[in-house]
């Protein structure tokens, strides 16, 4: 696709309703036994661990749709509902890893087989795409850790994949209904050695050598919009910003501006120099980091609005948001840090929808003022 404003056309959305899933994901958590709740369909996956985590996420999604049904913007076709779960939401944990508080090499650091990515995405999409509850939603289902089959060298090729899905649309476009987006950098707090990343192996299809412009994969073009998606350390490494710079160098002034930037993470906050959105546009980050050294604090949720004039991103005031607490029980909540974590689990949302681009909104308002 030629990524220019004239090709993308007019986006149907002018406002955003953020739905940030607050749940800790850094330490291994037991999958538990999870039943379908809040009207969510029952899913069936080959791996019981993956099935339980997928069912819990669907329960949370359906519960969120009901808990926020009277929220301003939920029934507005011009308001995009964006739900983000944190990085590592899908990470398989053995009983020993849960009790030991860390992932081990013997289980590929919590990785499922690579094929689980497709199986999970199909199950999640199948559970939401026919439901009118998720009309005009974008869902970032956190990330799933997976591994390629071991080769003769015994090399561990690991992937950390964000899954991004779309709900129903009044006028569907030709874009795919969901995407996989690979994390490019393994952080030193993730567990495995960075050299175990699949894209460092020149024999895999994920190789940097075979696909040197992988950062362009972080740019998603849906609904007449350009959206940047990053996973944790990739944000600090300015993956989306670098992709946008390459587009501008290649296409010049016709390159489409980035209208929204999304970050799913576990140990990251919004980095000023990594924000790549247009003037007045939003960046949204949902994190899952909670560590004993920080007193098992609650994971963070952040939203910022970019100001091109000052080159800075200003936080949307905390008073603009409210946390809706999840129901008790394993069907909605995870048991974290052996039950020592007693913080909240729930979904952050704004008290009213936010303008997708405040600068454009102000300009439009000025143009129609008497």
pLDDT digits (tens, 9 = 90+) for 299-310: 999 999 999 999
- Residue 368 has a pLDDT of 32
Helix ranges (H only) for the chain are 5-8, 48-67, 95-100, 116-128, 233-236, 239-251, 358-368
Tell me if 57 is assigned to some domain.
yes
**Contacts by residues 147-151 (CB-CB < 8 Å, ≥ 24 positions apart):** 147/108, 147/111, 147/112, 147/113, 147/114, 148/114, 148/198, 148/204, 149/113, 149/114, 151/203
Tell me if 262 is assigned to some domain.
no
Token pair in block for residue 162: 């964000």
More reliable by pLDDT, 11 or 5: 11
Tokens 């910022």, residue located: 304
* 24: nearest Cα among 304, 234, 284, 292: 292
Helix ranges (H only) for 232-291 are 233-236, 239-251
In tens, the pLDDT along 197-216 reads 999 998 888 988 888 888 88
Tell me if 47 is assigned to some domain.
yes
Residue 183 and residue 161 in contact, taking contact as beta carbons nearer than 8 Å = yes
Tell me if 257 is assigned to some domain.
no
What CA–CA distance (Å, rounded) separates 302 from 309? 21
Q: Rounded mean pLDDT of 277-298?
A: 97
Domain limits at 75? 14-215+316-368
% of the chain with per-residue pLDDT over 90: 84
- Collect all residues with Cβ–Cβ distance below 8 Å to 346 and sequence separation of at least 6: 22, 323, 324, 325, 326
What is the chain's mean pLDDT, rounded?
Answer: 92
- Looking at the DSSP bridge assignments, the partners of residue 322 are 349
Above 80 in pLDDT, residue 328? yes
Tell me if 268 is assigned to some domain.
no
Q: Rounded mean pLDDT of 28-53?
A: 97
Give the confidence band of 153 by pLDDT, cuts at 50, 70, 90: confident
Give the confidence band of 8 by pLDDT, cuts at 50, 70, 90: low
Tell me if 295 is assigned to some domain.
no
**3-state DSSP assignment of residue 138:** strand
- Residue 255 has a pLDDT of 87
Cα Dmax for the chain: 74
Above 50 in pLDDT, residue 2? no
Give the confidence band of 11 by pLDDT, cuts at 50, 70, 90: confident
Number of domains in the chain: 1
Tell me if 232 is assigned to some domain.
no
What CA–CA distance (Å, rounded) separates 243 from 257? 12
Residue 187 and residue 29 in contact, taking contact as beta carbons nearer than 8 Å = no
- Residue 321 has a pLDDT of 97
- Residue 171 has a pLDDT of 87
Tell me if 264 is assigned to some domain.
no
Which helix (H) or strand (E) element contains residue 147? strand 137-147
- Residue 9 has a pLDDT of 57
């Amino acid at each position: 696709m030629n990524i220019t404003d004239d090709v993308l056309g007019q986006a149907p959305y002018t406002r955003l309703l953020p739905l940030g899933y607050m749940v800790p994901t850094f330490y291994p958590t037991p999958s538990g036994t999870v039943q379908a709740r809040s009207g969510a369909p029952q899913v069936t996956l080959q791996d019981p661990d993956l099935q339980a985590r997928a069912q819990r996420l669907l329960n949370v999604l359906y519960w969120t749709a009901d808990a926020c049904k009277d929220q301003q913007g939920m029934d507005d076709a011009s308001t995009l509902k964006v739900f983000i779960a944190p990085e590592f939401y899908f990470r398989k944990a053995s009983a020993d890893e849960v009790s030991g508080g860390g992932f081990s090499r013997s289980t590929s650091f919590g990785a499922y087989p690579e094929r689980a990515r497709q199986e999970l995405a199909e199950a999640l999409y199948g559970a939401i795409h026919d439901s009118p509850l998720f009309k005009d939603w974008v869902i970032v289902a956190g990330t799933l850790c997976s591994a390629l089959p071991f080769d003769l060298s015994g090399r561990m090729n690991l992937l950390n994949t964000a899954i991004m899905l779309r709900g129903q649309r009044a006028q569907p476009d030709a874009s795919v209904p969901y995407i996989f987006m690979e994390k490019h950098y393994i952080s030193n707090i993730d567990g495995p050695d960075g050299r175990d990343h699949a894209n460092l192996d020149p024999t895999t299809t994920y190789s940097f050598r075979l696909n040197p412009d992988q950062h362009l994969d972080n740019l998603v073009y849906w609904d007449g919009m350009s959206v940047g998606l990053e996973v944790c350390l990739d944000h600090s490494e300015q993956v989306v910003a670098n992709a946008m710079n390459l587009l501008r160098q290649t296409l010049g002034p016709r390159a489409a501006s980035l209208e929204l930037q999304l970050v799913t993470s576990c140990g990251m906050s919004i980095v000023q120099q990594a924000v790549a959105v247009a003037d007045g546009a939003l960046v949204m980050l949902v994190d899952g980091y909670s560590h004993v050294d920080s007193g098992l604090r609650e994971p963070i949720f952040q939203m910022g609005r970019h100001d091109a004039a000052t080159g800075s991103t200003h936080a949307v005031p905390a008073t603009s948001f409210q946390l809706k607490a999840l129901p008790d029980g394993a069907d909605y909540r995870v048991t974290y840090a052996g039950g020592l974590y007693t913080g909240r689990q729930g979904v952050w949302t704004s008290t009213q929808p936010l303008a997708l681009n405040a600068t454009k909104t102000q300009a439009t308002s000025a143009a129609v003022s008497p």
